[in-house]
Amino acid sequence: MRILSGIQPSGKLHIGNYFGAMRQHLALQAENEGFYFIADYHAMTSNPAPADLAARTLEVAMDYLALGLDAEKTVFWRQSDVPEVTELTWILSCVTPLGLLQRCTSYKDKVAQGLSPNHGLFAYPVLQAADILIFDSNLVPVGADQKQHIEVTRDIAIKFNAQYGQTFVLPDEQILKSVAVVPGVDGRKMSKSYNNTIEIFEPESSVKKKVMRIVTDSTPLEEPKDPETCSIFALLRLAAGADELADWEAKYRAGGVGYGTVKKRAAELLCEYFRPYRQKRQELEQNRDYVEQVLTDGARRARAVASETLRRVRDAVGLGVMRHAQSR
């Protein structure tokens, strides 16, 4: 089964990105045909500085490779290295009803968060549809908040197929298994937009300092505490083994444990969890030519598939028909 997923290089990846999506992407590559890309076109909707966009794209590539992406088995590329996607985006735009895009909640949400209401942000679902359809993707693992975009992709594909004949594979979404919300250092959900993240590969000393600053309530040490509502316990859920987690839960409910003690252990567990990947990440930092070569090779493999799909599309809509006729 062909699995497709993309991630935006909108900032340094944090542990919320990892436990929420990346870990599951990496697990899926073992038994499937993985097509994973760095969505630098999508990142442009927020108008990043050129140097930042280029640097963040390479950093995301290094992060994925360090965490276990198999570049031999999985096709891994930079979105902008496959120009067929942008041509397909225009063709799909010409069959996409305006009302379909107007109903997409993500545009309104992003504008409400302060992003400029530009056309790229509004038409984002069409580019996302092109990403998916051009690779004949069978399954797209997404968070629950992206489910609507997969539905839009299917609607666009169905409309195109009805108008021009069977051309596109209809993808299915796989809603990623939810994990406990990863708390940021301010107690809210970890998010780059809140500036409250713990980066995957930031120095361990910094990780420990950030965990110790996480906001907690004022329940006295001797009082029982609710593990279900505690930000620190949410971190324990991510990195602790089942037996240790059960032990901490019992301590919470019995009382007599302070948040400072739990924070220290949560920080230790997070550092231990990512430590095996840290050396690989440092090696990649010193071998950026290799990382670029991985992306170049991935783009070549991705374009081989994309160009074949685009040929079907161009033939279906009548683009290049006269050229084909004159060549005969």
| R_g (Cα) of the chain, nearest Å | 22
Count helices and strands in the chain by DSSP H and E runs:
16, 5
Residue 203 vs residues 161, 206, 274: alpha-carbon distances, Å: 51, 5, 11
Contact of 19 with 189, CB cutoff 8 Å: no
Q: Residue 224: enclosing H or E segment and its boundaries?
A: none
Type of residue found at 9 = P
Give me the phi and psi of 50, to 5 degrees please. Answer: -55, -45
Sequence-ordered strand ranges (E) for the chain: 2-7, 33-38, 75-78, 139-142, 172-175
CA nearest 297: which of 75, 82, 131, 86? 75
DSSP state of 20: I
Active site residue 147: no
Is the Cα dihedral 118, 121, 125, 129 positive or negative?
positive
Active site residue 280: no
Which of 189, 209, 251, 264 is labelled catalytic? 189
Which of 110, 210, 225, 263 is labelled catalytic? 110
Name, in order, each residue with C-beta under 8 angstroms of 271's C-beta and a sequence gap of 6 or more: 204, 207, 208
Active site residue 192: yes
Which of 192, 209, 251, 280 is labelled catalytic? 192
**Concatenated DSSP letters of 228-277:** GG-HHHHHHHHHS-HHHHHHHHHHHHH----HHHHHHHHHHHHHHHHHHH
Count Cα neighbours of 230 within 13 Å in the Cβ-side half-sphere.
23
Give me the phi and psi of 234, to 5 degrees please. Answer: -60, -35
Which residues belong to the active site?
110, 189, 192
